[in-house]
Amino acid sequence: MATDAKIDTVERVYQAFGEGDLDTILGAMTEDVDWAAETSSTAAPWYGVRHGKDQVSSFFNEFGQTMEVEEFTPLSVAANDTDVFSVVRIRAKSRSTGRTLVNNLHHFFRFRGGKIAFYRGTEDTAQVLDVIGR
Domains and CATH numbers, the chain: 3-132 (3.10.450.50)
- What is the pTM (predicted TM-score) of this model? 0.94
Nearest Cα to Cα of residue 83 among 57, 34, 117: 117
Query: What string of H, E and C letters represents the secondary structure of 45-114?
Result: CCCCCEEHHHHHHHHHHHHHHHEEEEEEEEEEEEECCCEEEEEEEEEEEECCCCCEEEEEEEEEEEEECC
Q: Residue 47: what pLDDT?
A: 94
Give the pLDDT of residue 68. 96
- Torsion of Cα atoms, 38 then 29 then 14 then 87, to 10°: 40
* pLDDT, one tens digit for every residue, the chain (134 residues): 677 999 999 999 999 999 999 999 999 999 999 999 988 888 899 999 999 999 999 999 999 999 999 999 999 999 999 999 999 999 999 999 999 999 999 999 999 999 999 999 999 999 999 999 98
Query: How high is the pLDDT of residue 3?
Result: 77
Q: 50 pairs with which residues across the strands? A: 35
| DSSP-based three-state secondary structure for 118 | strand
From first CA to last CA, the distance across the chain in angstroms is 42
- The predicted pLDDT at position 1 comes to 65
